[in-house]
Structure 1
Amino acid sequence: MKILQFTDIHLTRQGDTIGGRDPNANFAKALAHALDLHGDAEALFITGDLSDWGDEDDYARLKSIIADIPMPVHLMIGNHDDRQLFTSVFPELGNEDGFVQYAVQMSLGTALCLDTWGPDTHAGHFCEDRARWLTTQLEQIDGPVWLFMHHNPVPIHVAPMDKIMLLDAERFGATIAPFAQKIRHIFHGHCHMPLSGSLHGIPFSAPRGTNHAGWPDFSATRLLASAELPESYAVIFATPNSVMTHMVEFGYAGEIKGEGTPDYADWDRMTMVR
C-alpha cells in the first residue's frame, strides 16, 4: 500500500502569504509534484489546517481543486480551521455526533480520520464522545488500523508547542492502548516539523508541511520558532509486515547529485563522487 500525507496546507485568500510564502501556490506545487512522482498512490490524506483563517472560500476552493485529483482525498480539520464552515462545504464528512470523524477502507486495513479541533483554541481536544466513537471503531475493525489526526498526541518538548498539543492526550492514549496490536501507525501534523516516536508502542510520524516550517527551539518559553526550510509532504509505503515513511522536500530548489552505484565493486577512491 502506498499513500500520501499532506499537512498544514494553510490555504489563504489569493495573494496573501505566510512567512513570505504563498500557501496556495505551494499547495498547487505539492500536488503537481506528488501526482507526477506518486500518481500510483491509492489515497491522499490531508491532516488539518486546511485554511489559515477558517474561511469558507478556502474550503470551497479546496473542494474545487481536489475534485480534479485522480485519487481519493481524505480531509481532517486542525486548529486553524472552522468546523461549522468546513462541514457547510463538506457536509458528507460530518458524522452523527457533529465531528469530522470517519473510516476509510484501504487495500491494507482501515484508516480512521480523527477530529481534534476545539473552538477558540489552538490546542487539540479528544472528548469522551470522540473517544467513544474511536473505541467503537477499533472494536469493530479487525485491523490493521491507520490513525490520521492533526494534533500531536505526545509532547515534543518544545514548551510553546506543547501548550497547544492534544490536551486530552491521556484520554487518547487510554483509548488506543487496548488496541495497540491492531493499530499500525499514527500520522499527525500541527508542529510543522518532521517528527517520529511512539505511544503505547504504536509508532507515529509527521512531516513538515506544504508551506512554512517550524524549528525545534528547545530553549523557547513563549514564542514558536520558524525556519527557512523546504516545504514537504510524506510518502508512506506499507506492507503486512512493515511501514516506511519518507518526508519529501518538494520545496528544495538545489541540485540533486548522483554519487555512484550502490554496488560494492564500483566503490573506488578515484571514481566515487565525494
Structure 2
Amino acid sequence: MSKIIVFTDLHILPIGKTIIGLDPYARLAAGIDHATKIHPDADRIVCTGDLTHRGDADSYLRLAELLDRTHIPVSLLIGNHDSRETFLSCFPDVSVDPNGFVQSVLDVGDWRLVFLDTLNAPPYEFPETYSGYLCPARLEWLQGQLREAGDRPVLLFLHHPPHDIGFPGMDAIKLKNGPALYDVIGRFNCVKHLVAGHVHRTISGSHRGVPFNIFKSPCHQMPMNMDSMDVSLSVDEPAAYGILLTTPTGVLAHSEDYEIAIADVGTSHEALGAGAAAE
C-alpha cells in the first residue's frame, strides 16, 4: 500500500497579502507541517494546481521555500491561476513533456501516477481562460503514457474537473474538452481513479465508470451554494488536504480537516471513553 497526500488550490501570495483575510502561506505551512508529522511514511505529496493566486515569481519562490520544510517528495501541477512560464523559471527541475507542458509520470509502488497540465492560457482573462483545456498534443502525450502503462493501474491527476460536479458556476469553467479526455481514457483499461482540484470543496463520485475525488483548499473554500453562478464567492471553512491509499484493488480516499484535527487531538481519548475507563 502506498500513501499520497494531496494539496490543491494553494493560492500563495506575496508577503503581507491575504484572501478574505486569510494568509494562504500560513494555512499551507500548517498543513505541510501536519501532514509531515502525522504521515511521515507518505510516499508523495501532490499539489494539483493553482499553486499561486497571481502567477508571480515572488509567490512561487515562497512556495519553494515552504516545501523545503518537508522530507516527503513533492510533485507540482499547474492550474488556471498559474503562469507556466513563471512557474518553470522558479522550479527549473520540474519535468515537462516534449512540448513543454507540465506533464509527467511517476511510478509509486505498483501504481503509475500521471500528471496533466490543463492550463488553458495565461490567467486573468475570465471567464474563458479560467476553464481548462487539453490540446491535441497533450492528449496525444497522455495516450502514449496510457499505452505504455499496460496492465499497471493509473492514478490520473489534473487541476480542472473534466465533467460537471454540481456547482453551475464551476461547471462553466471546468475542463472544456472533458469528453475528449474520457475518449482517450476509454481506449485503455488502466485509469482506475482520477483526482482534480479547482472547486475548493471535497467531492467524490464517478464519471463514465471512473471514480474521482476533489479536495478542499488549505486556504479559502467555495460556499456550499449549488445554485450560484458566482465563482468568486469564498468562505473561511477549515483547511484540508487529501490522503490517498493505493491498494492492489483500488484507491481509498480520505480528507483531513487539519485545523480541526490540530485543535481536537488532545481530547480524542476522552471522546473514546478512555478517561472514564481510567477512573
By the TM > 0.5 criterion, same fold? yes
Alignment correspondent of 1:265: none
Identify the match of residue 100 of structure 2 among 98, 101, 118.
98
Amino acid at match of 1:194: T
8 Å CA contact 2:170, 2:199 repeated in 1: yes
CA gap 1:228/1:63 in 2 versus in 1, 3 angstroms: closer
Alignment correspondent of 1:16: 17
Identify the match of residue 108 of structure 1 among 82, 107, 110.
110
Structure-1 separation of matches of 2:19 and 2:110? 37
Secondary structure of the corresponding residue to residue 79 of structure 1? coil
Structure 1 length normalisation: TM-score? 0.90
CA gap 1:208/1:178 in 2 versus in 1, 3 angstroms: same
Alignment correspondent of 1:167: 176
Between Structure 1 and Structure 2, how many residues are aligned?
263
The yes-or-no answer on 1:260 pairing with 2:272 is yes
In the TM superposition, residue 11 of structure 1 has moved relative to its aligned partner by 0.5
Structure-1 separation of matches of 2:243 and 2:229? 33
Structure-2 separation of matches of 1:223 and 1:118? 17
Alignment correspondent of 2:211: 203
In the TM superposition, residue 75 of structure 1 has moved relative to its aligned partner by 0.2
Alignment correspondent of 1:212: 220
Amino acid at match of 1:104: L
Structure-2 separation of matches of 1:43 and 1:3? 5
Amino acid at match of 1:74: S
Structure 2 length normalisation: TM-score? 0.89
Deviations 1:110-151 (A, max 9, x none): 101100001141111111111000000000113111111111
Deviations 1:66-100 (A, max 9, x none): 23421210000011000011111223323220200
Alignment correspondent of 1:150: 159
Amino acid at match of 1:244: L
* Deviates most, 189-198 or 118-127: 118-127
* Deviates most, 118-127 or 72-81: 118-127
Identify the match of residue 186 of structure 1 among 188, 194, 197.
194
Structure-2 separation of matches of 1:223 and 1:82? 20
Structure-1 separation of matches of 2:230 and 2:61? 34
In the TM superposition, residue 173 of structure 1 has moved relative to its aligned partner by 1.2
Amino acid at match of 2:112: T
Secondary structure of the corresponding residue to residue 26 of structure 1? helix
8 Å CA contact 1:16, 1:22 repeated in 2: yes
8 Å CA contact 2:36, 2:72 repeated in 1: no
8 Å CA contact 1:111, 1:146 repeated in 2: yes
CA gap 1:223/1:205 in 2 versus in 1, 3 angstroms: closer
Structure-2 separation of matches of 1:95 and 1:67? 25
Structure 1 portions without partners, runs of 5+: 262-270
Secondary structure of the corresponding residue to residue 227 of structure 1? coil
Structure-2 separation of matches of 1:21 and 1:67? 22
Structure-1 separation of matches of 2:198 and 2:239? 14
Structure 2 portions without partners, runs of 5+: none
In the TM superposition, residue 238 of structure 1 has moved relative to its aligned partner by 1.5
Deviations 1:175-219 (A, max 9, x none): 11122x311211111000001111221111011111001123122
8 Å CA contact 1:161, 1:224 repeated in 2: no
Over the matched positions of the two proteins, sequence identity in percent amounts to 34
- What are the within-5 Å matches in structure 2 for residues 45-56 of structure 1? 45-56=46-57
In the TM superposition, residue 5 of structure 1 has moved relative to its aligned partner by 0.4
8 Å CA contact 1:3, 1:44 repeated in 2: yes
Structure-1 separation of matches of 2:54 and 2:85? 13
Q: CA RMSD in A?
A: 1.9
* Deviates most, 34-43 or 112-121: 112-121
The yes-or-no answer on 1:29 pairing with 2:37 is no
Secondary structure of the corresponding residue to residue 226 of structure 1? coil
Alignment correspondent of 2:145: 137
8 Å CA contact 1:216, 1:225 repeated in 2: no
